[in-house]
Amino acid sequence: MRILITGGAGFIGSHMTDRLIAEGHRVVAMDNLVTGDLANIAHHRSNPNFEFIHHDVSNHIHVAGDLDWVLHFASPASPIDYLQLPIQTLKVGALGTHNALGLAKAKGAKFVLTSTSEVYGDPLVHPQHEEYWGNVNPIGPRGVYDEAKRFAEAVAMAYHREHKVDVRIVRIFNTYGPRNRVNDGRVVPTFINQALRGEALTVFGEGRQTRSFQYVDDLIEGIRRLMETQFNKPVNIGNPNEMTILEFAKLILRLTGSRSEIEYRPLPVDDPKTRKPDISRAKEVLGWEPRVPVEEGLKKTIEWYRSIM
């Protein structure tokens, strides 16, 4: 197959590129490199099955030739990114998704939208299942990301109903692994790099808020299975192994052997108190559940960060 990946030089996009190239497919990676990095895909540049296009998908997308799939992964995805790039985040979620869907429609291609657990906001339901509509502050600082993804889901389903575009929607929960930027701002790279540098680990509030962490290989497997399944409703892909941020900080200190201390800071605005996926649908529809234990994935990730320091 020939497959376009928007955000193809990003953390998740580059791992999906690896998987598809390994399967023998042709990949067109498109990225404006605002948060992506050419180093993530440099090992494919001489591969005749790989092509890179430097482009912002918030503008009209043109790709010559046939496409079998459009995988829309492009978006700032960390609090630091979308607080610094609020307009770009809204544009890629709205205009970018619309443009990517229009391309899929024109090419007769199937479509994957990478949505997010952030569509649930600060949830009042725990764990979060796909039928829950969420608790989002549309005018808060995080709303630019939350609402962009909620709109992206809405326009994807509109294209599915109106134009018969064959869509898939994956709601991604906290994912970590190699190639996640050092300055990404999310908790896994932040804690690991603070620990490796001997700096204090910055825990917001009292660290009682919970998160569920999945290794990137598990996410890619879930998306790949979704592509092979005729299912158009959203599917949670995440690890239901929930822990508090304070517990996670202590785990990072143990795995890195760091003597860093823990420093407490005020909670950010609208920071979700809980985050845990209900993966019943993924188990039933995809036969999927995470396989990589958190400690095993973290050890691989820590070694990658060591290698680039």
Catalytic residues: 145
CA dist 299 and 33 (Å) reads: 28
Neighbour-count burial of 23, counting CB atoms closer than 10 A to its CB (0-12 exposed, 13-18 middle, 19+ buried): exposed
3-state secondary structure of 125: coil
Q: Give the Cα-Cα-Cα angle 304, 46, 7 (nearest 5 degrees).
A: 60
- Give the tokens for residue 122: 């600060």
Which DSSP letter does residue 270 get?
T
Q: What is the DSSP letter of 200?
A: P
17-20, long-range: CB < 8 A, 24+ apart = 17/41, 17/44, 17/50, 18/44, 19/220, 19/224
Q: Which helix (H) or strand (E) is 236 found in, with range?
A: strand 234-237
**Do 181 and 37 form a contact (C-beta atoms < 8 A)?**
yes
Decide if 180 contacts 213 (C-beta within 8 A).
no
Q: List % helix, strand, coil for the chain (3-state, nearest 5).
A: 40, 20, 40
Nearest one of 85, 67, 83, 75 to 32, comparing CA atoms: 75
Cα radius of gyration (the chain): 19
Of 63, 66, 88, give the one whose Cα is nearest residue 77: 88
